[in-house]
Structure 1
């Protein structure tokens, strides 16, 4: 059984036409069609069936694809590991991270790491918390940086830092001239929140409960950038990770206020699959992230 045939089967099962998959494999379309038929003969079942102009996996094909995905992923990771043993200063770090961390933490960590290992490459994925966990479980990322311990039996998590959360209000808000407020002071106001399933949504709801109320939801978004924009438009308030000295701009006329009655913060950590043997570059990145954030906490970043 040829690995390239398995990759072509994988590609067709995921939606490519046989012609497109053949072009990727640099063979002719008839040659790939014959190879796929031989694969079905070896497996002993019809794996693909024509639906209109394209091929779709059969029920047997969907089952077989799960094992093909795992086998190809294992093979690719094995090649990476061997390459890094042969040349330990190279390699690939496959990292998934929260959208909000792409503006400051991830760039800092990647830049510092590449100063020591300039030939290491990065494969980066952005997502919400639920999507990040799936990246690890699907083996499409080796590491993830996210908020809070995912509390998953297959995942190991280590805290990197505690990130402050601030109450974002429009510059014309009744509290905007103050630097510190109690979260309870906005109990009756509309809140701009991320959708359920995002970590920041859970943290916000938990802090509001601690302050004695449930947030009145005015809008549910998928990115913190959207929350900022809607707060700036005067549609509500929001708990947002941001620096307290962030200045209001014409595009984002927002004031960030320190919360005093509850501990407005969230844990940021790095995680990986407990049972997976990580490539050397990924293990080095974990060490670097833990060391760099510890130094930052001591004022050396």
Structure 2
């Protein structure tokens, strides 16, 4: 049984077309189709059924995929472990992180780490809170950077830093001349928020509830940069991280106001699967993140001087 065929089976089972999977494997589409047919003969069951133009897993295929995922994961981890024995300063760090961390924290951590270990490679994934937990449980990432403790019995979480949250308002907003504001003063404003399922959306709703109101949603987005752009355009206000990449620019004329009636902050932490031995290079990166993340966050955007 060819590992490349198993990877192609995995890709098609995860939603890729046979043509796409064949291109990744540098095969022709007919050649991969024949290989998948031979795989079904070896397994002794039909693994896919065609639904329209799409291949879907059969019940036997779903059972088989669970074992293929485990097999390939152990194989890849074995190769990484051997590579790190041969060259301890090399290897791969598999890291998943919140979308909002991809514009400043993750680049700073990776850059600092690769200055000491330039041969290390990174496998990076972005996702929301729930997706990050799945990355750990499905073994598609060794570490995740997320907000707050996932609260899962199989996951260990450590705080990296506390990230301030400010009320972002358009430059010509009625509150824009202030440095501090009660969140309750924005109760009648349309809120530009992330879609349900994102941690920042849940935190926004929680803080508004603490301030005595439910936010009136003006727009739901998937990226914090989109939220900033729409606030700058005057379409509403938003609770946004005061990260170093959030400075106002001519394209983003925003004012950031400190909150006085609620705790405007969120914990950012790193997590890994309890009981799983991290590869040596990943453990080095974890130590690096715990040691340096707070310093990377020292420059944050805050209220402009009066």
Q: Same fold (TM over 0.5)?
A: yes
CA shift at 1:273, angstroms?
1.3
Give ranges in structure 1 of 5+ residues lacking alignment: none
Q: How many Å separate the matches in 2 of 1:20 and 1:236?
A: 42
Residue of structure 1 equivalent to 2:45: 45
- Pair 1:232–1:17, CA change in 2 (3 A): closer
- Pair 1:154–1:186, CA change in 2 (3 A): same
Structure 1 residues 66-124: Cα deviation after superposition (integer angstroms, max 9, x where no partner): 21111111111111112112211000011111111112111111111111111100111
RMSD: 2.6
- Pair 1:114–1:55, CA change in 2 (3 A): same
Note if contact 1:163-1:265 (Cα within 8 Å) is conserved in structure 2: yes
CA shift at 1:294, angstroms?
4.8
Q: How many Å separate the matches in 2 of 1:281 and 1:100?
A: 25
Give the stretch that moved more between structures: 21-30 or 268-277: 21-30
CA shift at 1:195, angstroms?
1.3
- 1:201 is the counterpart of 2:201: yes
User: Alignment partner of 1:174: what SS?
Assistant: coil
CA shift at 1:222, angstroms?
1.1
Q: How many Å separate the matches in 2 of 1:32 and 1:178?
A: 63
Give the stretch that moved more between structures: 201-210 or 116-125: 201-210
Residue of structure 2 equivalent to 1:78: 78
TM-score (norm 2): 0.87
- Pair 1:25–1:212, CA change in 2 (3 A): closer
Give the stretch that moved more between structures: 24-33 or 262-271: 24-33
Structure 1 residues 136-186: Cα deviation after superposition (integer angstroms, max 9, x where no partner): 222221111111111112211110000000110111111111111111211
Q: How many Å separate the matches in 1 of 2:13 and 2:244?
A: 49
- 1:92 is the counterpart of 2:79: no
Residue of structure 2 equivalent to 1:65: 65
CA shift at 1:41, angstroms?
3.7
Give ranges in structure 2 of 5+ residues lacking alignment: 300-306
Structure 1 residues 207-236: Cα deviation after superposition (integer angstroms, max 9, x where no partner): 112222221211111111111111112121
Residue of structure 2 equivalent to 1:112: 112
- Pair 1:282–1:230, CA change in 2 (3 A): same
Give the stretch that moved more between structures: 279-288 or 122-131: 122-131
Q: How many Å separate the matches in 1 of 2:257 and 2:169?
A: 8
Residue of structure 1 equivalent to 2:124: 124
Q: How many Å separate the matches in 2 of 1:218 and 1:132?
A: 27
- Pair 1:177–1:32, CA change in 2 (3 A): closer
User: Alignment partner of 1:141: what SS?
Assistant: coil
Note if contact 1:157-1:272 (Cα within 8 Å) is conserved in structure 2: yes
- Pair 1:50–1:212, CA change in 2 (3 A): closer
Give the stretch that moved more between structures: 76-85 or 19-28: 19-28
CA shift at 1:48, angstroms?
3.1
How many residues get paired?
299
Residue of structure 1 equivalent to 2:159: 159
